[in-house]
């Protein structure tokens, strides 16, 4: 069937999750952070994902905002930091993550082609609203879908069910795009057509299903429709 609906993961796919630490490190008086900002950003993101997986397995759901705070606390503790002001600054910046540079152009092309476009994210609604509004991308999305509706994180099939419930489309009418290999594997097994955005040039995950396409950024997504 023809693709009718393009669905994007948010964090790391549309929005640059490393931006919070990078921007904070450029501010005056942040020399200690500047020296380790890439490491801190990587630890923060890795723990954020790990905590979401563990909570999905155990059924111990909390909001993604709580997971994000817990992950940052771990990343800062690894550096030996107990700096409340820095913590609050990093968390504030997470609500204002910049989109990758190709994202506005790509979304505009999808809408011009009549696609239904949505976000499907682990993020809770207020986090996603903050990022979308700050980026100026609101007009491109027909829906912003959050796991908070079902109380479990991806890659649970209950999360992917939200797309069909919202748009009334068949699974093979959906092009699902994520920078997370595990998310793409879950969506591929579910029956979506998938794109893995492999910005870092990583090996493909050895999981239950493979992506239909692998790209290093998002600008050519409209060409796959």
Distance from C-alpha of 138 to C-alpha of 69, rounded to nearest angstrom: 25
Distance from C-alpha of 112 to C-alpha of 116, rounded to nearest angstrom: 10
Structural contact between residues 20 and 189, judged by C-beta atoms closer than 8 angstroms: no
Distance from C-alpha of 210 to C-alpha of 46, rounded to nearest angstrom: 22
Backbone dihedral angles phi then psi of residue 210, each to the nearest 5 degrees: -100, 155
Structure-token pair, residue 220: 């050519």
Structural contact between residues 155 and 209, judged by C-beta atoms closer than 8 angstroms: no
Distance from C-alpha of 74 to C-alpha of 81, rounded to nearest angstrom: 10
Q: Which residues are catalytic?
A: 9
**Angular region, 124: left φ>0, alpha ψ -120 to 50, beta rest:** beta
Structural contact between residues 190 and 157, judged by C-beta atoms closer than 8 angstroms: yes
The alpha carbon dihedral of 28, 101, 134, 97 has a sign of negative
């Amino acid at each position: 069937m023809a693709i009718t609906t393009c669905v994007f993961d948010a964090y790391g796919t549309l929005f640059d999750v490393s931006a919070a630490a990078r921007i904070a490190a450029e501010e005056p008086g942040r020399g200690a952070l500047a020296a380790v900002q890439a490491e801190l950003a990587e630890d923060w993101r890795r723990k954020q994902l790990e905590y979401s997986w563990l909570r999905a397995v155990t059924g111990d759901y909390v909001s993604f905002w709580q997971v994000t705070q817990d992950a940052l606390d771990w990343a800062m503790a690894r550096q030996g930091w107990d700096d409340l002001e820095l913590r609050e600054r990093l968390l504030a910046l997470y609500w204002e993550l910049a989109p990758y540079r190709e994202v506005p152009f790509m979304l505009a092309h999808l809408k011009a082609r009549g696609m239904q476009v949505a976000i499907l994210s682990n993020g809770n609604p207020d986090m996603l609203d903050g990022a979308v509004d700050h980026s100026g991308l609101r007009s491109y999305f027909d829906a912003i879908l959050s796991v908070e509706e079902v109380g479990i994180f991806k890659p649970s099939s209950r999360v992917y069910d939200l797309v069909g419930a919202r748009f009334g489309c068949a699974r093979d009418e959906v092009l699902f795009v994520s920078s997370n290999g595990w998310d793409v594997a879950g969506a591929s097994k579910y029956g979506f057509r998938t794109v893995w955005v492999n910005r870092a040039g990583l090996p493909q995950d050895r999981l239950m299903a493979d992506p239909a396409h692998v790209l290093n950024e998002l600008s050519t997504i409209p060409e796959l429709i």
